[in-house]
Amino acid sequence: YMPRNLMVGRDHELGVLDFQDAVYGPISYDIASLLRDAFLSWDEEFVLDVTVRYWEAARRAKLPVDEDFGSFYRAVEWMGLQRHLKVAGIFARLTLRDGKPKYLADTPRFIRYIRTTAARYTQLTPLLRVIDEVEGTADATGFAFGRV
């Protein structure tokens, strides 16, 4: 889901717009989609609070979530990361191939999500280096002789 595609009706019923691409997926997908949106930012405390509540409700409902919240949260973060990498590719295609650069305005938000998540997990250090390289922010590494 995307937050902008969710509507509350007159009787407080949830309405979902633009759901033609809805499919079954990992239990972490929906919460990652809602809280790691490409067009909307939430405070980290809010994200953590909502994720804990989602995890607790899922456990009560006997849904297949990890018994350890930390493991579940990591799965949510990695799912959000995967979605943002996909969005980065889509926005690049829309800009470069389709001539629709308006989506670039939201690029800093999801690149920040990618960087924040990648920086938290040592397994994602190589991804952080790729992002640095693509953005031209990679530090020079190696030996220095002469000019330093």
In CATH terms, the fold of domain 3-133 is: Aminoglycoside 3'-phosphotransferase; Chain: A, domain 2 (3.90.1200)
Q: What is the tens place of the pLDDT at every residue in 98-125?
A: 999 998 888 888 888 999 999 999 999 9
Predicted local distance difference test score (pLDDT) of residue 5: 59
Contact (CB, 8 A) for 88 and 135:
no
Residue appearing with tokens 């990652």: 32
- Give which of 87, 86, 84, 104 is closest to 95, Cα–Cα: 104
Mean pLDDT of 15-38: 76
Pick the more confident residue, 59 or 12.
59
**Sign, CA torsion 32/35/36/40:** positive
pTM, two decimals, is 0.77
Distance separating alpha carbons of residues 93 and 75, to the nearest angstrom: 27
CA distances for 75 relative to 55, 114, 141, angstroms: 12, 14, 32
Which sequence spans correspond to the domains of the chain? 3-133
User: Using CA atoms in the order 93, 94, 99, 100, what is the torsion angle rounded to 10 degrees?
Assistant: -160
- Give which of 119, 89, 95, 110 is closest to 2, Cα–Cα: 110
